[in-house]
Structure 1
Amino acid sequence: MLHDHFALNAMGDGRVAWSPLLLVGPAGIGKTEAARWLAERLALPFRVFDMASAQSGSPLAGSEAFWSNSEPGLLFELLAYQPKANAVVVLDELDKTEQVRQYDPLAALYTLLEPRSARSFTDLSIRDFAIDASHINWIATANSVDGIPSPLLSRLTVLHVHAPTPDQVARIAQNIYGRMRAEASWGSAFVPSLDEAVLAKLKHLPPRSLGLALRRALGHAARDQRDHIQPKDLQLVSDGGKRSIGFTAGLTVQRQSMHPLS
């Protein structure tokens, strides 16, 4: 489907653009990670907006200027400070948005997901001028379409996403590892890619847990002063048993008789 959009835009100004998407699938299968991968491959700015924790539309569309702590929303900052107007914005867990009539977090999306009205979008904290948000590439994620209002759903192209195969999980793990190396100050201390033995263990994990698994494994490798992860580093991560924390391990308490103060 994206190829159709790309081919059509190639006949115009060549801008990377697609109609708003909704990725629907089970939790933890890598929907947000897929959106991040796409943005990286297209060299586009990328932002994730957590709809499950949104209590109003202000984080996305700004807060009213009459509030003492009024500030612009994510979209204004993204368009004002990024060199590209066609960023990828993920509306994560859209189906878990708490819809309160007075402070509905979804309210701004009815304007933003329509290209014609998005051309003159006004941030609530800066009403003096409108911004053109029509080039934003929207990707929403959800576990189900239930709970998403029909008028909003009609603005989205729904794609049902199946759980990735083990080989696909291995590629996701490699991508996450590469991004960790690129973003962390310690990244250059480790080898550029994961070896096959490590990938063989990682590919059986849920995509959502890959980041934590890799970070813990990298920490264990660092403790051993190694520049690479070994399969044994991942064994600690997959151990589901309860473990004690810090100095509480093996701690015993002895009862002592109490004597009255003299």
Structure 2
Amino acid sequence: MQRDPFQLKLKFDSLETLSALMTRHQGDASDIADALAVFDPAQLAALGQSEASVSKELQARNKRLIDELRQRGPRRALALHPDALARLDELRARLPHFGEVIDELGDQVALAREARRPLRAQPLLLLGPPGVGKSYFCNQLADALGLPTHRLAMDNAQGSALLSGSATFWSNSQTGLVFKALAQGTHCSPLILLDELDKAPRDAQYDPLASLHGLLEPSTAQHFEDSSFGLQLDARFVLWVTTANTLEGLDAPLRSRFSVHAIPAPTREQARRIAVGVAQDVVAQSGLAMEVGPGVLDALAPLTPRQQRQSLERALARAVRHQRLSIQVEDLPASRPRLGENLRRPFGFVPV
């Protein structure tokens, strides 16, 4: 069968284009493999020469920041943990009710590794009632990926200054969380957790979510500028994770920027698995050769991950005080919820 020359030409051109892209990609593979510039050093140098309009206090602050960033340089690490995919699989086994979220991120981790580029994932919104382990999951996720974590409680956020900095006309102007995570951080993909997004106080003049519209769009995030320090930062690769109990109060344009995942309450068996992971973490961080006795995990299962950790830390201290090498049920705080109480209502973590 005779082939259309035009089709052959298109295929050839596509292959040539692909080959050229691969050649360029391989040519700067060392840059892709280890670090990414998050700001322009030339713009940083220019900042120190254009501060006549700011107060002496801000000039001194800016000089300290400029000196710090010059010393650190513009490049931030982009590599994920070498075993990130295997660690995500382990996390899925421990927190199966977050399976959809983990699978979505696992796909992006595999793509970033194969393409040898930074992780670029759609901002995540974890939707669910209090106590399903959303905040605990975010900490475990950052650990699995090998990313630094920065948390902002949105229920107390007054305006967008905590996220994107305060204006320089304020005498106490300060940079925001994004600046600290990127410019003063170590990685180009820090995990920024915005906890309880739906509880953010909304005010027409001081809306704490206003700056998110730009930060969650890659085209504008690439040129993010903190209100307190006029240095453009490349914030495209920040891993945004937010939690909420409801979508009420979040406008449609903001919601559309998120990949929304409804997190169900864990089953009894899933909750017990979570308790296993929490117990392993607590014992490992203690540095002691401590065992967890029979019945402890069942006693912990009705609690939230935070309550599990708090109970285990107190129980471990009590076991050490009594010179035992295992944590027993009697070491757990007496004030914890009893299993029988939780069995009489639909199972799930109790609210914090």
Task: Give the TM bin, normalised by the shorter chain.
Answer: 0.7 to 0.9
Match of 1:3 in 2: 106
Letter in 2 for 1:137: L
Contact kept in structure 1, 2:293 and 2:329, CA below 8 Å: no
In structure 2, list runs of 5 or more residues that go unmatched. Answer: 1-103, 339-352
Are the equivalent residues in 2 in contact too, given 1:73–1:123 (CA < 8 A)?
A: yes
The C-alpha deviation readout for 1:222-249, integer Å capped at 9, x for no partner, is 4323344211112514268xxxxxxxxx
Which residue of 2 is the match for residue 160 of structure 1?
262
1:232 and 2:330 correspond: yes
**1:205 and 2:303 equivalent?**
yes
Higher helix share: 2
CA positional deviation for 1:87 = 1.2
Identify the range of structure 1 (149-158 vs 61-70) with the bigger mean alpha-carbon deviation.
61-70
The TM-score normalised by the length of structure 2 is 0.62
Letter in 1 for 2:191: V
Aligned-residue RMSD, C-alpha: 2.1
CA displacement, residues 184-228 of structure 1 (integer Å, 9 cap, x when unaligned): xxx22452x645532122112233422322233233224323344
Task: Report the alpha carbon displacement of residue 26 of structure 1 after superposing the two structures with TM.
Answer: 0.9
1:1-262 to 2 correspondences below 5 Å:
1-127=104-230, 129-180=231-282, 187-189=286-288, 191=290, 194-234=292-332, 236-238=334-336
Structure 1: 5+ residue stretches without partners: 241-262
- Which residue type is aligned with residue 65 of structure 1? T
1:217·1:233 contact (CA, 8 Å) conserved in 2?
A: yes
> Could you tell me which amino acid in structure 1 is paired with residue 185 of structure 2?
Q
Aligned partners of 1:72 and 1:123 also within 8 Å: yes
Counterpart residue type for residue 257 of structure 2: R
What TM-score do the two structures reach when normalised by structure 1?
0.81
Residue 160 of structure 1 aligns with an amino acid whose one-letter code is: A
Check conservation: 2:125, 2:259, Cα contact below 8 A: yes
Partner amino acid for 1:26? P
Preserved CA contact (<8 Å) 2:275 2:308: yes
Measure the CA separation in 2 of the matches of 1:66 and 1:180.
46
Deviates more, 1:90-99 or 1:8-17: 8-17
After superposition, the Cα gap between the structure-2 partners of 1:180 and 1:102, relative to the gap in structure 1 and judged at 3 Å, is farther
CA distance in 2, matches of 1:123, 1:51: 18
Report if the CA contact (8 A) 1:29-1:208 is conserved: no
- Change in Cα spacing, 1:16 to 1:223, as seen in structure 2 (3 Å) is same
What SS does structure 1 have at the residue aligned with 2:226?
Answer: coil
Render the CA deviation track for 1:39-60: whole Å, top value 9, x for unaligned.
Answer: 1111111122111111111111
Kept in 1, the 8 Å contact 2:155–2:201? The answer is yes
Query: Separation in 1 of the partners of 2:326 and 2:152?
Result: 33
Match of 2:33 in 1: none
Instruction: Tell me the residue number matched to 1:251.
Output: none
Amino acid at match of 2:287: S
Identity rate, percent:
40
